[in-house]
Chain A
Amino acid sequence: MAVLYSRVMSFDPSEPSSHLRDRFILSKGHAGAAVYATLARVGFFEPDLLRTHCGENSKLSGHVSHVDVPGVEFSTGSLGHGLGVGTGMALALKRLAKSQRVFVLMSDGECDEGSVWEAALFAAHHDLNGLTAIIDYNKLQSLKSVNETLRLEPFADKWQSFGWQVHQVDGHDHDELAAVLNSRDDQRPSVVIAHTTKGRGVSFMENSVLWHYRSPQADEFEAALTELGNL
């Protein structure tokens, strides 16, 4: 998200619904905190609002919501919705002869949902080259690894065979991400399979299913911040 909002997308925080903006949908809605933090950082609203996150009477829900939150393109939380919606936006933009792009960030486990593949078929069939899907491929889902749950491999081949342009990158390498996200196929929609490590940078969180759900307690939080500060 940092790469998208600093090096790729066009947007204007003073005009959140400008027709000239590129569209971003967080389809893995459970990572809503990242959207709110990013939007606050680039100026859509005051960072103070972040302190209300998930609190009483807050509009910043755990799963991302657009109501009364400037800059949130679309609300999600149930997996497998974002790519279809982004596909609809990309189709409309194409039919209306507009060049704005649509980015949809998904999780790997989300690709268990059949609706993802309905949208994948559709986007390729209609040559929606304005659409880019990004998959956070950390290879872990709720209870176990992706491989132990529902195998996605050969993942890149699947997208390729559906008619998408496929990029595979190190999801922690900003330069690599920026390079592929700034490119656009002449015809096909693109998918960026971003290989990532869940909890990267915090030794006790890395690659641990436990931290899919767990919130860091006071001492853990401080320890995590210290480690991240040392990066």
Chain B
Amino acid sequence: MRDVFVEALIEEMRVRKDIFLLTADLGFGVLHKVEDEFPNRFLNVGIAEQNMASVAAGMAMEGLTVVCYSIGNFPTLRCLEQLRNDIGYHKANVKVVTVGGGFSYGPLGMSHHATEDLSILRALPNFDVIVPSSMWEVAQCVRVMFEVDGPAYLRLDKSNMPDDSAATSELVRGEIRCVRSGTDVALVGCGGVMGNAIDAAVKLEREGISVAVFTVPFVEPLDFASFVSNGLTQAVVVTIEENALAGGLGSKILELFADAGRQTSGLRRIGLKRAYESTVGSQEFLRERHGLDTESILATLRRAVGQ
């Protein structure tokens, strides 16, 4: 996803002269493409995320569109108050972009597991929270992100969902996307883990259970109307995210169901329990430990439909 993002960013920067990229000393081997082509619109601020966020806000107040790039927790949790006060409150045109969503950096340990960022960023007013699932969605999300004048958080993953986008219309801010039709159960989620979701849906189909799969590229803004208009009307709904259950995408969907007066008894959530992960391993290994691998998703789906 990272490489697709950089390519999409470069495309945008070729067209829009106001876009400026800041990094907090990360992006070795990737961001040099931006620096080579736009040496005056790229800056490594050093290992100083609080300052990066405030500087970005100040630059945005002067009319620039500023991208802050780093790994998962650093340009988000480390400088959360700068995001809230300097960027969010001022509706500053700053796009915080992270790589390493969820357990992408599984072997590196707990500090590098980005597992609460979605929940926390979701709580900040004025921020769009954008989580692509596939390479195609990354490019689409970058386009949509720059169309909006205001704060955004874009979370990128090391893994991705294989995507045949040929039959898909362009992504629209606030709209969920149906990537597989089905009638018995809806599997709704975001991020690279949707690759496992699709695998589980295909396997369950062979057992005679029809599974619809929806991606949610825009966790914020998101409203219930988008569910109905995009065919998310199945009685049984399973949400999935490589993020804390507390306050994340599943939580958001539960809130929307409750606010719309919809029955929530048919809704189950797959995600991370309220615990730090001290065991390390690959992204897929850690997904297995947390019920996010294909077999675990299958098991949850079977339970959800009463089998």
- Residue A38 CB within 8 A of the other chain: no
> CA A163 – CA B45 in complex, angstroms?
16
Stretch at the interface among A4-12, A40-48, A84-92: A84-92
> CA A73 – CA B64 in complex, angstroms?
16
B18 to chain A minimum Cβ distance, whole angstroms, is: 10
Question: Across the interface, which residues of A come within 8 angstroms of B48, CB to CB?
Answer: 118, 121-122
Q: Which 6 A-B pairs have the closest CB atoms?
A: A88-B58, A84-B54, A88-B55, A92-B62, A118-B51, A118-B48
Name the CB-closest residue of A to B22.
Answer: A88
- Residue A229 CB within 8 A of the other chain: no
Question: Across the interface, which residues of B come within 8 angstroms of A86, CB to CB?
Answer: 58
For A, the interface residue count at a CB cutoff of 8 angstroms equals: 29
Question: Across the interface, which residues of A come within 8 angstroms of B45, CB to CB?
Answer: 122
**Given A75-B90, A92-B64, A121-B48; A87-B85 close (CB under 8 Å):** no
Question: Across the interface, which residues of B come within 8 angstroms of A90, CB to CB?
Answer: 58
Q: How large is the interface on B (under 10, 10 to 19, 20 to 34, 35 or more residues)?
A: 20 to 34
> CA A118 – CA B78 in complex, angstroms?
14
- Residue A81 CB within 8 A of the other chain: yes
B81 A87 Cβ-Cβ under 8 A:
no
- Residue A154 CB within 8 A of the other chain: no
- Residue A78 CB within 8 A of the other chain: yes
A92 B58 Cβ-Cβ under 8 A:
yes
Question: Across the interface, which residues of A come within 8 angstroms of B58, CB to CB?
Answer: 84-92
B59 A118 Cβ-Cβ under 8 A:
no
- Residue B86 CB within 8 A of the other chain: yes
Name the CB-closest residue of B to A115.
Answer: B50
B 54-69 binary contact with A (CB < 8 Å = 1; else 0): 1111111111100000
- Residue B283 CB within 8 A of the other chain: no
A95 B40 Cβ-Cβ under 8 A:
yes
Chain A interface, >50% SS class: helix
A85 B46 Cβ-Cβ under 8 A:
no
Question: Across the interface, which residues of A come within 8 angstroms of B56, CB to CB?
Answer: 88
- Residue B82 CB within 8 A of the other chain: yes
Question: Across the interface, which residues of A come within 8 angstroms of B57, CB to CB?
Answer: 84-85, 88
Question: Across the interface, which residues of B come within 8 angstroms of A75, CB to CB?
Answer: 85, 89-90
Question: Across the interface, which residues of B come within 8 angstroms of A83, CB to CB?
Answer: 54
- Residue A156 CB within 8 A of the other chain: no
A74, A77, A122: which contacts B51 (Cβ < 8 A)?
A122
B90 A74 Cβ-Cβ under 8 A:
yes
**Given A76-B85, A122-B55; A93-B62 close (CB under 8 Å):** yes
Name the CB-closest residue of A to B40.
Answer: A95
> CA A88 – CA B51 in complex, angstroms?
9
Question: Across the interface, which residues of A come within 8 angstroms of B85, CB to CB?
Answer: 75-78, 81
> CA A8 – CA B61 in complex, angstroms?
22
B40, B59, B62, B82: which contacts A81 (Cβ < 8 A)?
B82
**Given A66-B90, A88-B57; A114-B46 close (CB under 8 Å):** no
B90 A78 Cβ-Cβ under 8 A:
no
- Residue A119 CB within 8 A of the other chain: yes
**Given A92-B63, A118-B50, A122-B45; A85-B40 close (CB under 8 Å):** no
30 A-B pairs, CB-CB below 8 angstroms?
A66-B90, A67-B89, A74-B61, A74-B86, A75-B90, A81-B81, A81-B82, A84-B50, A84-B53, A84-B58, A84-B82, A84-B86, A85-B55, A85-B57, A85-B86, A87-B58, A88-B55, A88-B56, A88-B58, A88-B60, A88-B61, A88-B62, A89-B58, A89-B61, A90-B58, A92-B64, A114-B50, A115-B54, A118-B48, A122-B48
